[in-house]
Amino acid sequence: MEFSSIRAYSILIIPSTDEMQSAGFWMEKGNELCNSGQRDEAIKAYDHALGIDPSLAEAWNNKGLVLASLGRLPESMQCFKETLKLSPTHKDALSNMGMVLAQQKKYSEALGYFDAAIAADPYFAGAWYNKALAMHCLGMKREAAAAMKTASTLEGSAGGCCRR
């Protein structure tokens, strides 16, 4: 009886060989590793996913986020560019590219990406928020205040889930 419960447990937690060969499995593994703070391992998992399916836009975007969090900005930008080649209106990649550019104090260029993210999804509170910050840094105080008001309104209507 004990053996069968161990076997049943292992079936629940050990992925099949087919699952381990899927890009989706490795992308999810990357997400789990990233969420648990294992960023270098997450990058390896995303690389594995992309080795299986290089057209997986979300894996490129997520890898870019991890690289940006490690301060590896040129590499992260390349990942966001790959995402945008595959999905030109990928709102998260557009906003993420803008955030990386803003980190480099390239606010005008960042603003273009935030505007593109907003064009892809006018209700994307995080892009409005980041647009407001970029405008503020460019000295566009009045416009920044209006964008921040929009971000706050959208965040409030979405239950406080603004992605900064």
**pLDDT per residue as tens digits for the range 52-63:** 999 999 999 999
Domain map (residue ranges) of the chain = 1-88, 90-159
Q: Examine domains 1-88 and 90-159 and report if their fold is the same.
A: yes
pLDDT bin (cut points 50, 70, 90) of residue 8 is very low
The whole-number average pLDDT for the span 7-14 is 44
Contact between 23 and 56 (Cβ < 8 Å): yes
Q: Is pLDDT above 70 for 137?
A: yes
For residue 5, pLDDT over 80 is answered with no
Report pLDDT for 159.
Answer: 54
Residues in CB range of 94: below 8 A, 6 or more apart: 84, 113, 114, 116, 117, 120, 127
Kindly report the pTM of this predicted structure.
Answer: 0.82
Average pLDDT over the chain reads 89
pLDDT, average across residues 37-53: 97
Does residue 68 have a pLDDT over 70? yes
Question: What topology does CATH give the domain 90-159?
Answer: 1.25.40
Spatial CA neighbour of 68 closest among 90, 26, 39: 39
Supply the pLDDT for residue 156: 83
pLDDT of residue 158: 59
The confidence score (pLDDT) of residue 10 equals 40
Please state the CATH superfamily assignment of the domain spanning residues 1-88 in this structure.
Tetratricopeptide repeat domain (1.25.40.10)
- Please give the pLDDT value at position 120: 98
Could you tell me if 44 and 34 are in contact, meaning their C-beta atoms sit under 8 angstroms apart?
no
Q: Which helix (H) or strand (E) holds 89?
A: none
pLDDT of residue 15: 57
Which has more pLDDT, 43 or 8? 43
Among all chains, which residue has been given the structure tokens 């270098």?
40
Q: Does residue 18 have a pLDDT over 70?
A: no
Region 71-75 average pLDDT: 98
